[in-house]
Amino acid sequence: MTTTLITGANKGLGYETARRLIGAGHTVYIGSRDAARGRRAAGQLGAGARAVQLDVTDDASVAAAVKTIEAEGGLDVLINNAGIEVRGPNNEVPTAANTTAGMMREVFETNVFGTVRVTRAFLPLLQRSATPVVVNVSSGLASLTHVSEPGHPTAAYPGVAYPASKTAVNMITVQYAKAFPDMRINAVEPGFTKTDLNGNTGTQTVEEGVGIIVRMAQVGPDGPTGGYFDAAGPLPW
Ligand code: NAP
């Protein structure tokens, strides 16, 4: 029996990942910063889903989630999925000229510091698993190669905070993978997916988006680690 925690699983890609992994036989903790939203999502997902309150920006919340999951039997797979993007009132992405240090801090607090906070807190549990796996939900916008390539679709994105946060997630992935060679730790790019994150402007469905998350969550001990993948294969850093 595989036990999995997904942060930010009450909606969007996290919720759909939970649905798929429950279908594959995992017991899935639905991490949600709002306890009621998490309970509702777990209720909809049915048997195999368990709600756990977890705000990735809050040490006490993360510590309590570790205690709960440890007491109920431990953890095999951690999916760092919770993420935010700052947008303006008309869903516009703040450009380089409009990006403030405060916006950077807000996005990094969840996407970067949250990933480190949660990973570090769950390491002891993961180290007790026979097949520990970490999936960091990154973005195609993390790729310095693609974003700086004229004509590449990601090169048109004008924002600073969100892509920088995901590039940091990629580096965190590489460094943790080297530090913990017995774990499979990878970063994934789901693709531009219709969710609340982008005001539902994405071009693919959550069913399509979660493919690579689900695959990397199920990677075996001989699978890759320290990599960055989308549905088609490895991506350039
Ligand atoms: P979403 O529908 O907005 O879902 C984001 C989830 O993260 C929600 O459950 C949200 O909870 C949660 N969250 C935000 N801040 C949190 C915090 N401090 N603690 C715990 N949970 C928190 O967006 P999504 O598109 O599914 O995003 C999931 C991941 O995919 C993110 O890391 C995102 O960057 C990444 N991604 C998305 C796309 C895309 O096109 N959609 C592309 C590439 C990568 P609430 O409901 O409480 O707000």
Please give the number of the atom of ligand 1 that sits closest to the Cα of 191: 42
Ligand 1 pocket, CB under 6 A: 7-8, 10-14, 33-34, 37, 54-57, 81-84, 110, 114, 137, 139, 189-190, 192-193, 195-198, 202
Question: What is residue 90's predicted lDDT score, i.e. its pLDDT?
Answer: 87
Please give the number of the atom of ligand 1 that sits closest to the Cα of 61: 19
Top mutation candidate among 16, 62, 195 for ligand 1, by most atoms within 8 Å of CB: 195
What are the pLDDT digits (tens) for 214-223?
999 999 999 9
Please give the number of the atom of ligand 1 that sits closest to the Cα of 55: 19
Separation of alpha carbons 77 and 24, rounded Å: 13
Rounded distance from Cα 150 to ligand 1 centre (Å): 28
CATH topology for 3-86+112-139+169-234?
Rossmann fold (3.40.50)
Separation of alpha carbons 183 and 192, rounded Å: 28
Residue 233 Cα distances to 27, 61, 218, 225, 229, angstroms? 27, 35, 15, 13, 5
- Single pTM value for the model: 0.99
Question: What is residue 132's predicted lDDT score, i.e. its pLDDT?
Answer: 98
Question: What is residue 4's predicted lDDT score, i.e. its pLDDT?
Answer: 99
Residue 107 banded pLDDT, cuts 50, 70, 90? very high
Domain boundaries, the chain: 3-86+112-139+169-234
Question: What is residue 26's predicted lDDT score, i.e. its pLDDT?
Answer: 98
Q: Edge-to-edge strands of the sheet including 233-234?
A: 49-53, 27-32, 3-6, 77-80, 133-137, 184-188, 228-230, 233-234
Q: Is the pLDDT of residue 113 over 90?
A: yes
